[in-house]
Structures are given as C-alpha cells and as structure tokens.
Structure 1
Amino acid sequence: MIIDINRVLGPIPADDVPSRDEAGLVAELDRLGIDLACTVHSHALFYDPVAGAPPPASGRLVHVPVLVPGPLGTGPSTARLVRLCPAEHRFALTGPHGLALAGDLADRGTTVLLGWESAGFGEIHRLATLLPRLRVVLVNTGYRALRELADLMDAHPRIGVDTATLNGHQSVEWLARRHGAHRVWFGTGAPVSDDAGPRFQLDHLDLPDDDVALIAGGNARTLLGLPGDSAPPRDAARTGGRT
C-alpha cells in the first residue's frame, strides 16, 4: 500500500494542475500507482484556513485540516493528521497560542505536518523541546537541509520527515539507516513540487523490503489507524498492475 502523506488538492496560484479537483487528483494517483493521499486543500493552505474547505468525497483522499491557533484561529480538530503553517498564516509557532494548540494536539495524539520553510530550525527545535510528546513530520525539507534535519532528528525522537524533496543521492537511505525507517514517510508535495520523482525514488530505494514498506505506506497506515489490508481499489490497467 502506497500512501502520499503530503499532497495538495485544489487550484494553486499561477498554474493549471490536474489536481484542481478530486477527479483529476485521483487520476494522478492512478497514473503513479498511489493508493491513498493525505490532502490539504489549496484554499486552506494559501488563502483562508478559517473558512476551510469541504472534506474530499473520494475514499482515496484523506482530509488534512490546516489549523491556526488563537482567538482568530480555526479552533481544535479531531483529525489524526493536521498541518500547521506559521509563516503562511502569520502566527508564532512557539508563541502562547501556538504552544496551547500544539499542546492540545500532543494530548490528543495528533500528528502535525510542518513545512520546513514555514518554521525553520530554531522554532522546530524549541517546539520539540517544549512538547516532546508531539509527533511532527517535517515536509518539503530539501536535500540542502540534511545536516540540520539530522541534528533535529538526533535530538528529538518524535520528529520524522517526508521524502518529497529529499532527492540527494541516498538521502532517504541515510536517514532511514540512521534514524529508522519508522521515521520516514513517503510524500510528494505535489503539485507544488514534482510527484514523479519521489514516486520513482520509492521504487528504487536501496533498503530492505520491510523498510521500504514502512516508508511507502506502513507508517502512514499506522498513523491513520488503517488496517493492513485497507488499500482501496485502483485501476490496475492504468498502474501496470502494481499493488
């Protein structure tokens, strides 16, 4: 089972993308042989997370709400996976309201997706130090952040990473061997970033099969509370029969 933990649904600025609607996104998942995608809506990501967007109707898409803390924020969520965007939505990740929201998420056992460029090393380190129970998956880190990323993952065992932009030679393998495959999630960041590259990389990871299975979908399946045989059907003719 292959689960993309980092996907955007809806139109994006300055580009016409197939994933502007659910049908287009599901077709892209079929094309790439991806069973399930955890999606934030572009309206919530780039425009107004308070107004939000309706959860997707397709069983292939898992809604990931974008949360904003404070009295002008979105309020709490019962989702198992949420996204925080402090830079995009102009709030302090480790300010009083930010820490109150993050503490509530830690108490609920909620996992947070956090963009590397949205927070930065210092704020992420401070958040993980103050709330060591909070699970954070850093997304869109890029290969240039590998040293800082390793520093954070060494210090904070509940910080993980997605593969969206970890395209340096053997970067994913190095992180999985150093920190464990249970801390690495398959993600593409599409359509803001490329999806075919991370998908190709997944098929060619130089790691044991069990580790690849965790990265591909096992970690996300556990996070989402999905049973092991829960992959929804997809068009085998379009995916070359891959399962």
Structure 2
Amino acid sequence: MTTFDAEALLGDLSVSMDIDVLVGAYPDRDGPPGDPGSVLGLLEANRVRGAAVASLRAALFDLVQGNDEVLGLDWATPVGTLDLRDPLGSVRELDRLAGLGVRAVRLFPDEQGVEAGFPSVRHVARRAAALGLTILTGGDVRRFWQPFTGLGATVVFLDTHFYHLGDFLVCAADEPGFHTSTRLLNSPDALETVVAELGAERLLYGSRTPLYETVVPLLRLATSGLKPDELLAVAGGNARRLLA
C-alpha cells in the first residue's frame, strides 16, 4: 500500500493569511477544541502564519464579550462578529468595532437562523459598506449575494461550493467587490476557473479551522495550476490587502 504523503504534495507552500478561522465552540454539539491555544497550534502545524479570526461565542450568544476576546488575541487579525437577529444592536457594534480599528466583520446567517431576504441583512450590510469594512459572510451564495448588491461593498463569500460556482461567477462579474473563499472549491478546476474568469485577486484561502480539516484546502491550492504569483495572492496576499 502506498502511503499518502501530504508534505510532498504541499512542497514549499505556506499561507500568510487564512481568511476563515474561528475560536470558541458550539455549546450543543461535539467538536474539536476551539480555545485560542489549540486553534493556533493547528494553524502552525498546517503552515498557516496569519489568520483572520472571529468568535463563535459572539455569533451564538454574547456579541460584545465574544468580540472583545478576539480583540485580545495577540496572534490574530481580529474579525468582528455581528448578530443579524439584532440589526440595531449590530449597527451599534459595527460603529464600536470600527472605532477600535477593526477592518472586517463576519456574518453567521445559518447559525442565527437568518435568511438573505430578511431586512436585517441589508441594514447591516449597508452600514458596514458605508464604514468601508470588509464583510465576511456565510450562507448559500445563490441567495446571499442579493443583500450586498449595489452597495460598493467588499464581500468574501465563505461558503461558495463548487456546485454553485457558476452562480458566484455570474453575480461577481457585476460586483467587483465580491470575492470567494477557497474552502469548498475542491473540484479539479474550481480555483483555476475563478482565476480565469475574475482574476486571482478575487480568491482567498480559507480553511474554517478548527471545524474542518485545515490541510484539505491547502492541498487543493498546492496541487492547482495557479502560477507562483497567483498562489501568493490567494494564500494570503489578497486577505492582507483587504484587511489592511
């Protein structure tokens, strides 16, 4: 039996910024350790040197305290979390986070039971765009592209599945601020298709550590047909530019 050698496939690839990292845990389900030390250890073991980190605590039940915990991590680029169940409180939190120098905010529509057509999503998106913040959002891109159109917003869709890549490409062609994470683009040509259609600057490495296998999107990127400069952009250069 041939032993699978991930290190050989990875070559010298490393990630300077992972756009999709979480700390915390779901209180109602089993899962990997989500404490900051364990998450940092996983990143380091998988060649990830920098991470944009958001808080599950903030997403699920304690917005301000969860965000403050992320702001206190000296190894992370903090991403503020918003609660779409409370649009007025989320706008207040947006203003607070922007005043503290946070450059990105994250939306958790699935975890919060919020649909793309809810007024809260458009309300929060409009304010985040007006503040010049990058928006990281979960949710099915076939629905969640709609609240962000026409705002001039910079948005990274974290859950774009390769089954739905065509829908992302169609809407992103008309919205230069639309970007996608690599996490679920695991088909043989998905990464290459994004770069061919939109350019490498619209694609960002994301792993959702610690909830998913960090090495899977890393292997897909390492074995892609992207050029060296495109690999550098996807493996962190684009994320660092959007979060600067």
TM-score, length of structure 1 as denominator length: 0.81
Q: Which residue of 1 aligns with 2:136?
A: 113
Q: 1:32 aligns with which of 46, 49, 54?
A: 46
Q: Shift of residue 113 of structure 1?
A: 0.7
Query: Distance in 2 between the 1:21 and 1:122 partners?
Result: 32
- Percent identity of the aligned residues? 25
| Corresponding residue for residue 159 of structure 2 | 140
Q: Which moved more, 1:210-219 or 1:197-206?
A: 197-206
C-alpha contact (below 8 Å) 1:50/1:73 kept by paired residues: no
Q: Which residue of 2 aligns with 1:205?
A: 224
Tell me the distance in 2 between the aligned counterparts of 1:80 and 1:217. Answer: 16
Q: Which residues of 2 match residues 97-112 of structure 1 at below 5 A?
A: 97-112=120-135
1:31-79: CA deviations, max 9, x gaps? 1111011111121233443553412544321221111352354622312
1:70-120 deviations in whole A, cap 9, x for unaligned?
235462231211111234324465554433322221122111111133xx5
What is the identity, as a one-letter code, of the residue corresponding to 1:111?
Answer: T
Matches within 5 A, 1:57-72: 57-68=72-83, 69-72=86-89
Pairing partner for 1:176 from 185, 188, 195: 195
RMSD: 2.2
> Does residue 1:42 correspond to 2:59, yes or no?
no
Q: For 1:141-197, what per-residue CA distance to the aligned partner results, in whole angstroms no more than 9, with x for missing partners?
A: 222111211222222221110011111112111101110110000000222222110
- Among 113, 124, 149, which residue is 1:129 paired with? 149
Change (3 A) 1:94 1:107: farther
What do the CA deviations read for 1:197-240 (whole angstroms, capped 9, x no partner)? 01122222211111111101111111222xxxxxxxxxxxxxxx
Is the CA contact (8 Å cut-off) linking 1:85 and 1:114 kept in structure 2?
Answer: yes
Greater helix share, structure number: 2
Output the CA distance in 2 between the equivalents of 1:50 and 1:208. Answer: 42
- 2:179 alignment partner in structure 1: 160
SS in 2 for 1:55: helix
Amino acid at match of 2:142: F
Q: Which residue of 2 aligns with 1:230?
A: none
Q: Distance in 2 between matches of 1:122 and 1:9?
A: 27
8 Å contact from structure 1 (residues 185, 216) kept in 2? yes
Instruction: Return 5+ residue gaps in structure 2 as ranges.
Output: 1-14
- Structure 1: gaps spanning 5 or more residues: 226-243
How many residues align? The count is: 220
Decide whether aligned partners of structure 1 residues 98 and 14 sit closer, same or farther in structure 2, where only a CA change above 3 A counts: closer
Compute the displacement of 1:123 (Å). 4.1
Match of 1:235 in 2: none
Structure 1: which amino acid aligns with 2:222? D
The aligned amino acid for 1:122 is R
CA distance in structure 1 between the partners assigned to 2:124 and 2:187 by the alignment: 34
Which residue of the partner structure matches residue 8 of structure 2? none
Give the ranges of 4+ consecutive aligned residues of structure 1 lying more than 6 Å apart after TM superposition. Answer: none
Q: Residue 100 of structure 1 aligns to which amino acid in structure 2? A: H
